[in-house]
Structure 1
């Protein structure tokens, strides 16, 4: 890593945060697909050019920060002027970032680009916060240099990505400041001055003042009368001086209470527009996209439109059911244009919108809201109608998604209606939008559209609520994990401790449980007193465990059942110090676990017992509702659930694969993703039981049971599958042995065979039904729903890739190949999946086909060192030594400390049979 970051930063005021990120304004300009080798002599003119451009960019960044410092406290008229100028300067900043990135990506500028990055990382005259101005440049360098055909270019791409990772931590720190969450951040790379934000502002004020900035750029200022009116304009005329009637334009004050129209300006963007479309689809929310002509294509001298790549994005907006509208061609200040220029800007964009397939009402939005009577009359003559806004997200000026969301929600709460302005060219808008839609949908707002010259208002709330965003299901997670092999009186077990350790590792490493919140008790520590103490003190402490938490208890050891004189049976878990003859005194009865469960403050608790007993007399398991609001309604319901490994007259199989019991091994397989029966990324306790119970019953003489404990209100304990990418496949990835692989396939077959379609009220099969034993010993039907929401192509592709990785580990190559192909069909530029598909083919000795996919992987992302290694191995096996050497050379440059580096280096230096490597 290269950049270092301040260990403690002052609280960040929203008004000061204009360009702390400057992220994600990636424009539609192409970057070179490949860079040839740089000259050995650094091009001095290129270095000078990049240095000059960087200085100009930074000066503008600093001016914007000073301009927007404290703007929220200015009088309304002055605030509108400051915001308008700030947005203009921000667009100029984007253009400078693009020019700098384009210059740095030129083939002859590689050494000059290296010098630029060194300067971004360590220029002594720059402040820490200055370096955030170059985030967009680093984004483009990381993307453009990935496709470089030179090792220096590829390594520089990785260096840029390291710097971006550091800047992401800086942004996160600012978000924490905004919420008054303080904490140190570890140093990386070079030690910087680490100035506080207040010090940074003070130093910038010595260089610039707001008045000086406004005077310097005065020619760019629109007239105050030409700016958009103050948002609460419902009580005022809303008209600019020189504009006849407010009715000529569309404002949000005409909407009914608790109704809004979503609008997005400045696109289409090659990436962020599609991401916003995915979000809107999940919420079933309509929107209007005001697009720039220059992003859609060009208009020839003959007046004919020449659509570019942005036009394809615009077509996807239409296909998703949204509306396209006109935002001018260049985003210029149209209130200062000659009227013929106003007409040209609007007409050229109209031609490109028509070429993209736009139909319906023709709407126009003036950039910056700057217009006058002449400009308005000109666009009206083209049969366009101006639509303004009354709720401004200011997403262009605020790098903190939660802050953007809070601003929009507060303004809508204040005005109770409105047209909301976002921009689909920022990553932070993509992050903020779900936060806004989530709250508004939950509060019963309606989302309007525009058709035939008027707002279209749904009769009822039409926006749906998808499951919460990643990491938002629970506030905290707590667990008690117990494994006992070394009983003093009971027969010793072989695998219970390993079972417990594996479950503990899965909770911490896969599902994000904090290590400090997980108590592991094994063997001598797992006494009756210690188990009850851990349950009562940790889970019964209301200061530690809150309402929005979850609690998980796992026990691997002996279980037993005692028949009472009344004929009722009571189940027990057996601690390490329990005797054989007095369960009541020495063991822990199910009624005690029930009391612990009822005393837990957390909304959801799940007990998983790898032991056998019956006769618990508990309630039956609830079924998972197959509705789109499951995760949110579930959050309001208390859930107390239990799954056991078998019945009282059964023996738990303690000789499963990998040194685990059959039950725990199956449980771990399920938690790796196999129990996500509906593919929504969430594994509920019901889904877990629906997978595990029939699978275990098919291979062992035990019948797992599942049910709800007293006090449960139908809530479901939920595991959220991680979305982080798994490692790329290579020879280092461990696989199951043949016996375990065959068992895994048998488990899947048994679980699948146990499911049958369950009709809904309308008669359509929308869920699968599994019959298993309840904790009361009776059969019960569990309903595992089909997918509740469309997760989007990128997330679905990632899940397919993760599924392929698991299938590869199980040596199920046909299924793994199909999963990776599915991932690539969803995301054709998915380099990781391309590498993984190639490696499956390699394992099947299809070396030429494998090499083809490895080549595609490095074309997509040339910095993937393992793909280069795999390519070398495939070429070696195919007998093409020359190409193998070339691939290995690239790999050695990218990963010189890899375990195979010495072996490969010897062969690359002296290719011969004696040094020939053994490809894995």
Structure 2
């Protein structure tokens, strides 16, 4: 339900608190005032304090937004700025950004104060913040991105409460965070285009143009005034002796970069960035703020905090630790002992972490003076600047950060890149940047103790990893899906239409294809003329672009005829084809090859659930070099169900052929052999071919068609939230399907080994496909991967394996509510009811707004004969989801308890 109250209402709430008014919950999940009969002095004092705290809270929110807007104004037309003005804007912008970091710390303290006040006042304060963020008429959608961290802090604070009003507020905060993700995606896609409509949430997205937003901000703030308010105080670097010379990155070899990260270590983002760097096998240099890792007392004694463990892990992983001052002060204004302490204290702390810390130093904001440079020389430190600024501290949109870095590198061809490991946007942007850098052949340098040099080991690993670090990067995705059962003159089939329908649903629901771009023909519609018209007319009318992809699936009869030359030629059989007139009214594969070659699309992939040969292989899957440049190479590939004179096994599970059943399993994640959330055509073939051959008389074949330049068709697995919360309504596979999947699993074990996978090529010969290496990811990625595997095991009723997988997910991510619930449900299935109840309770402690977990908990309590506790859980579900999918079951169960 969307929220209507405006800021005036939240201010009225503050007045109400002073007047001795408390809050109660109404049916719209909002808090409304009611008279409070308690007017004792203690209560009044508590409310008075609460009012003061709320005023502080609103003040910090306003200031946070103000600085956020000022940063945007500073860089709204960055390309037009002269170098001096850009440098000054960068420094002032960073100052504004770090002020906001301080404000976030202040907000933490304020939220702590609020959490200790009375429940009514506490929830009223949370309500005030949400109403302001959701409904204030002065806020644009882009403004709301400034409050992401605030909402995350509120979510954590509210999660500790178990009252129903708190649970509802927690759910509301979660919906607001989801709405912010949608806002970010829209700006990510088209910054200057009109917003599309989204599902209504508490934050109601509007149709806004980025230009309109900038016009509004320009009326509120002026760049020159902002710079004046903060002072143009940073001089250009003075000419220095060679020994004092700063490093900017201009002297690095061509196509060589250094990745640097300032201001950490952060409690979570630093480790996530380290995990990304590990995945891509590239080095980083982390310029750390001393107070983030420890303290130095008056006697000079150092003491490290828990963040220092993160710093140690960075060095253990081969990264470099560097000095970024003790408090991130503006050192160009400092002098004497204060300036010396800012530099030396952090150096001592870094030495305590590891004596091999680097001698590199970076002035906060790049602001320095001559005295500071002399202190560096005295301490044996070296100043490192940058020549590629990602502006990740100012820009809220990850794709914009990516474009800025790549555009600057296109001009510079080399350099030191400035990032910050204290913000989520950097975590989102970094993989996209690394994908592009690897594809364009960049090498990654690091500090070797005396200079910046290319790490041969790291770059060799990055080159090997290039095969797994590919991205789809498609503009539009089209598909042609054809299924024919009711042939006029050929034997009828049973499952082809059902196969085509299932493939269509998977493309749209799982793989990100747009519903209107999946063109379908079935049975009588699939005549020769109609099939060719889809290619020649429909796709031609769609005006394919060079960055589009086209997927073609055909389920039906295939045939092979030997030509007078002795060469085999394969055909697909339309519904109206005559067996005696194949050469006239069937469609030869050579025609499809020509069509594929003529399509103005990057990648085209045929998957044919029919058996034939004579398709004309040119080459198989690309090498790692091809895959790294996948975005630049045309790809025309084909996977067939079998060869000539082989019959399609039309009796697989759930009304599918064996081939299509295996294909569906593959596209739902099983063919992601390296765990990178991408399935290449080669991975698909490597999974399907040995699997189908093992359970049928078919021999699938795979290869590239004429016109292919080694490009690789890619399916990107579409994640919808965190995944599925297991419950009694979760579908499991039939015994027939489980039996077949067990055979397939046995046949595909080699796909996870180091041995190459041998499959047929399109000419009938053999080809070897190297088994891809499993990609390591961040703790969140590894947890998600383990949870997804657990879901596969659960559907196949392999409960021991599912339990192990969900346990693994929780090892990576202890606060993973999804995995906690799913582990509980596996226990429930194994009749371990006490264990199940414990994990459902854990789930609700992590995420008290997760309604389905209350149903699961109620079931577990009921099996334990703890009926009163079961009633409480079931009633909590009905409070949260009175019209939910399980509401009828819960009401019937309550009648019996």
Q: TM-score range by the shorter chain?
A: 0.7 to 0.9
- In structure 2, the partner of 1:576 is 575
- In structure 2, the partner of 1:137 is 150
Conserved 8 A contact 1:361-1:451: no
Structure-2 separation of matches of 1:53 and 1:283: 39
Change (3 A) 1:434 1:257: same
Shift of 1:530: 0.7
Of the three residues 234, 249, 260, the one matched with 1:224 is 234
Shift of 1:654: 2.4
Q: Does 1:878 align with 2:860?
A: no
Shift of 1:455: 2.9
Q: Does 1:158 align with 2:171?
A: yes
- In structure 2, the partner of 1:900 is 886
Of the three residues 169, 173, 180, the one matched with 1:167 is 180
Structure-1 separation of matches of 2:335 and 2:578: 96
Structure-2 separation of matches of 1:862 and 1:299: 41
Q: Does 1:891 align with 2:877?
A: yes
- In structure 2, the partner of 1:482 is 482
- In structure 2, the partner of 1:53 is 60
- In structure 2, the partner of 1:526 is 526
Shift of 1:496: 1.5
Conserved 8 A contact 1:623-1:784: no
Structure-1 separation of matches of 2:142 and 2:423: 19
Where 2:638 maps in the other structure, the secondary structure is strand
- In structure 2, the partner of 1:9 is none
Of the three residues 93, 98, 118, the one matched with 2:100 is 93
Where 1:493 maps in the other structure, the secondary structure is coil
Structure-2 separation of matches of 1:193 and 1:563: 62
Shift of 1:732: 1.4
Q: TM-score, normalised by structure 1?
A: 0.83
Map 1:23-172 to 2 at 5 A: 43-66=50-73, 73=80, 76-104=83-111, 106-107=114-115, 108=117, 109-126=122-139, 129-172=142-185
- In structure 1, the partner of 2:559 is 560
Q: Does 1:651 align with 2:658?
A: no
Structure-1 separation of matches of 2:615 and 2:83: 68
823-832 vs 458-467, which moves further = 458-467
Shift of 1:322: 1.2
- In structure 1, the partner of 2:17 is none
- In structure 1, the partner of 2:238 is 239
Conserved 8 A contact 2:141-2:183: no
Change (3 A) 1:278 1:494: same
- In structure 2, the partner of 1:841 is 827
Q: TM-score, normalised by structure 2?
A: 0.85
Map 1:784-863 to 2 at 5 A: 784-787=770-773, 789-863=775-849
- In structure 2, the partner of 1:269 is 266
Structure-1 separation of matches of 2:125 and 2:287: 38
Shift of 1:810: 1.6
Q: Could you report, residue by residue, the CA deviation over 1:431-461 in whole angstroms, capped at 9, with x for unpaired residues?
A: 3334444444444444332243433345796
Relative to total residues, which structure has the larger helix share, 1 or 2? Answer: 2
Q: Could you report, residue by residue, the CA deviation over 1:405-428 in whole angstroms, capped at 9, with x for unpaired residues?
A: 443444445455433322111222
Conserved 8 A contact 1:296-1:311: yes
Where 1:270 maps in the other structure, the secondary structure is coil
Change (3 A) 1:650 1:805: same
- In structure 1, the partner of 2:694 is 698
Shift of 1:735: 0.8
Where 2:295 maps in the other structure, the secondary structure is strand
Conserved 8 A contact 2:197-2:205: no
Shift of 1:515: 2.0
Structure-1 separation of matches of 2:847 and 2:178: 17
Conserved 8 A contact 1:392-1:421: yes
Structure-2 separation of matches of 1:453 and 1:565: 71
Where 2:742 maps in the other structure, the secondary structure is helix
Change (3 A) 1:293 1:166: same
Shift of 1:604: 3.3
Conserved 8 A contact 2:802-2:826: yes
Conserved 8 A contact 1:239-1:245: no
Shift of 1:391: 3.4
Map 1:364-443 to 2 at 5 A: 364-415=361-412, 417-443=414-440
Show structure 2 runs of 5+ residues with no match: 5-30, 37-46
Conserved 8 A contact 2:3-2:131: no
- In structure 2, the partner of 1:250 is 246
371-380 vs 83-92, which moves further = 371-380
Where 2:263 maps in the other structure, the secondary structure is strand
Shift of 1:212: 4.8
Shift of 1:792: 4.0
Where 1:324 maps in the other structure, the secondary structure is strand
Q: Does 1:501 align with 2:501?
A: yes
Map 1:765-780 to 2 at 5 A: 766-770=754-758, 772-776=759-763, 778=764, 780=766
Structure-1 separation of matches of 2:33 and 2:102: 28
Structure-2 separation of matches of 1:781 and 1:688: 15
Structure-2 separation of matches of 1:818 and 1:88: 48
Change (3 A) 1:824 1:38: farther
Shift of 1:862: 3.0
Conserved 8 A contact 2:435-2:469: no
Where 1:448 maps in the other structure, the secondary structure is strand
Change (3 A) 1:448 1:559: closer
Structure-1 separation of matches of 2:861 and 2:829: 14
Q: Could you report, residue by residue, the CA deviation over 1:156-183 in whole angstroms, capped at 9, with x for unpaired residues?
A: 23322322333333334434454x5455
Shift of 1:507: 1.5
729-738 vs 588-597, which moves further = 588-597
Change (3 A) 1:62 1:280: closer
- In structure 1, the partner of 2:307 is 310
Shift of 1:820: 2.3
Where 1:252 maps in the other structure, the secondary structure is coil
Q: Could you report, residue by residue, the CA deviation over 1:581-608 in whole angstroms, capped at 9, with x for unpaired residues?
A: 3323332233333333343343433322
Shift of 1:112: 0.8
Shift of 1:146: 3.3
Shift of 1:154: 3.2
- In structure 2, the partner of 1:674 is 670
Structure-1 separation of matches of 2:101 and 2:54: 21
Change (3 A) 1:554 1:306: same
Where 2:748 maps in the other structure, the secondary structure is helix
Structure-1 separation of matches of 2:563 and 2:205: 72
Q: Could you report, residue by residue, the CA deviation over 1:364-411 in whole angstroms, capped at 9, with x for unpaired residues?
A: 222222232334444544443333334333222222334334434444
- In structure 1, the partner of 2:544 is 545
Structure-2 separation of matches of 1:159 and 1:756: 43
Conserved 8 A contact 1:264-1:287: yes
Show structure 1 runs of 5+ residues with no match: 5-36, 230-237, 758-765, 909-913
- In structure 2, the partner of 1:450 is 447
Change (3 A) 1:546 1:202: closer
Where 1:619 maps in the other structure, the secondary structure is coil
Conserved 8 A contact 1:265-1:327: yes
Change (3 A) 1:328 1:660: same
Structure-1 separation of matches of 2:743 and 2:92: 66
Shift of 1:185: 3.6
RMSD: 3.5
- In structure 1, the partner of 2:718 is 722
- In structure 1, the partner of 2:617 is 619
Where 1:745 maps in the other structure, the secondary structure is helix
Structure-1 separation of matches of 2:691 and 2:279: 33
Shift of 1:861: 3.0
Q: Could you report, residue by residue, the CA deviation over 1:1-49 in whole angstroms, capped at 9, with x for unpaired residues?
A: 6489xxxxxxxxxxxxxxxxxxxxxxxxxxxxxxxx9999674344333
- In structure 1, the partner of 2:679 is 683
Structure-2 separation of matches of 1:318 and 1:206: 47
